[in-house]
Amino acid sequence: MHHNERLEFLGDALLDLVIAEALFRDCPKATEGELSRLRASLVRKDSLAQVARGLGLGPHLDLGGGELRSGGDSRDSILADALEAVVAAVYLDGGFETARGRILSLFAEPLAASTAVGEVKDPKTRLQEHLQSTRRQLPEYRVVDIGGSPHEQTFRVMCLLDDTGEATEGTGTSRRRAEQDAAARMIALLDCDD
């Protein structure tokens, strides 16, 4: 079976470089750590999969029967890898500037959202700062469920505010990502994002 692992490797590096350059340019006051967090949030598996879904990439993947039956064409890891391979193919076919332009076009909306005021901090930090500024208790994060196979786990985490009983749930491919998702949902619920 043909694999695109070498293309995925190259595409991953191209995405890191182009996104890092855009954040460096668009966030002149951000620290190295903040820039690293922003880049990581944009090039993580679920973010890449979302861009791949927007392109309608899943139905065009050549997968084995088992992968097709198990929904491989909609699995985050497969979609993210496919997007990386496509980015590398664009680079190899059209050169760096062509690939850079395409990446910036594909990530225009996520980049704009990430570089908006207040987005430099991750959702857990923003939620904690909001709660502290209003003298409220800090949230508690509880793992509700862990699903999937050992190498493709999905975490479901609850963000609970004990003082009011408000709760949100988030999902992610790691506990940390699920906590960030739950915190972002709590920020939206409280309508406290500046």
> Does the active-site annotation cover 84?
yes
Q: Where in the chain is the domain with CATH 3.30.160.20?
A: 123-190
Residue 41 has pLDDT above 50, yes or no: yes
Choose which CATH entry (3.30.70.100, 3.60.9.10, 3.30.160.20, 3.40.50.300) describes domain 123-190: 3.30.160.20
Residue tagged active-site, from 76, 84, 119, 179:
84
Q: Please give the CATH superfamily to which domain 5-114 belongs.
A: Ribonuclease III domain (1.10.1520.10)
DSSP assignment letter at 60: G
Amino acid identity at 58: G
pTM of the complete model: 0.58
CA-wise closest residue to 124 among 26, 29, 41: 41
> Does the active-site annotation cover 12?
yes
State residue 78's pLDDT score.
80
Residue tagged active-site, from 8, 12, 76, 179:
12
Tens digit of each residue's pLDDT (9 = 90 or more) over 84-109: 999 999 999 999 999 999 999 998 88
CA-wise closest residue to 190 among 173, 171, 166: 166
